[in-house]
Amino acid sequence: MRLRSKTLIKICVMMLLCAILFASCDSEENQRLEIVKFDALEEIMTRKSNKIEVINFWATWCAPCIKELPYFESINAEESNDYKVTLVSLDFADEFEKKVKGFVAKRGLKSDIILLDEIDYNSWIDKVDSTWSGAIPATLIINHNSGKRKFVEKELNEGELIQLINTVKN
């Protein structure tokens, strides 16, 4: 009887562990796709994390942005799991369902995508980076552990993006 209850506890613990593991796996695969306010972006920029934060500002109407998206997607797909990619859409919130979600589905984008619903740009843009003129594409890389950050306001090719990440990582 005693043995049995021990076994039962073991099974329970195992099941619990499995559930936790499964849940964490699940959350890894669940793509964030939502409309947010600036506080959500601020949370990403300031959170405690061992991952290198790769934040790209884009929009569905911005051709050079779309051109560089695959490079961010391949960083997101890296097996090392050292990076957290967030694609911040500056499309208009009322076009989220039609334009952004449709675009994400069509392109099969896997990275987290948040649409920043803050039309009064001058109220928040300097909080991302004071050198930002307001044009996209723009990219911000943050190493939360070292506090290193790098902001660029231009279209990147794949080599430039990797180089940029490496300067912040090391």
Q: Which of 84, 88, 57 is nearest to 145 (CA)?
A: 84
Q: Which of 23, 64, 98, 145 binds other proteins (CB under 8 A)?
A: 64
Tell me which stretch binds other proteins (CB under 8 A): 14-22, 97-105, 106-114, 116-124.
Answer: 116-124
Task: State the Cα–Cα distance between residues 170 and 167, nearest whole angstrom.
Answer: 6
Q: Please report whether residue 61 would count as binding other proteins according to CB under 8 A.
A: yes
d(CA 148, CA 167): 9
| Residue 151: C-alpha distances to residues 9, 22, 27, 121, 139 (Å) | 52, 36, 28, 17, 6
Closest to other proteins by CB, 134 or 145: 134
Q: Which of 135, 145, 163, 166 binds other proteins (CB under 8 A)?
A: 135
Distance in angstroms between the alpha carbons of the first and the last residue of the chain: 57
Stretch that binds other proteins, among 6-14, 61-69, 72-80, 139-147 (CB under 8 A): 61-69
Find the part of the chain contacting other proteins (CB under 8 A) among 10-18, 80-88, 120-128, 161-169. Answer: 120-128
Q: Does 157 bind other proteins (CB under 8 A)?
A: no
Residue 20 neighbours by CB distance under 10 Å: 10
- Beta bridge partners, 57, equal 88, 138
Name every residue whose Cβ is closer than 8 Å to that of residue 5 and which is 6 or more positions away in sequence.
Answer: none
CB of 23 vs other proteins, minimal distance in Å: 39
Q: How far is the CB of 18 from other proteins (least distance, A)?
A: 48
Indicate which single residue of 35, 40, 125, 152 sits in contact with other proteins (rule: CB under 8 A): 125
Position 102 contacts other proteins (CB under 8 A)? no
Residues that bind other proteins (CB under 8 A): 61-62, 64, 92, 119-123, 125-126, 132-136, 154
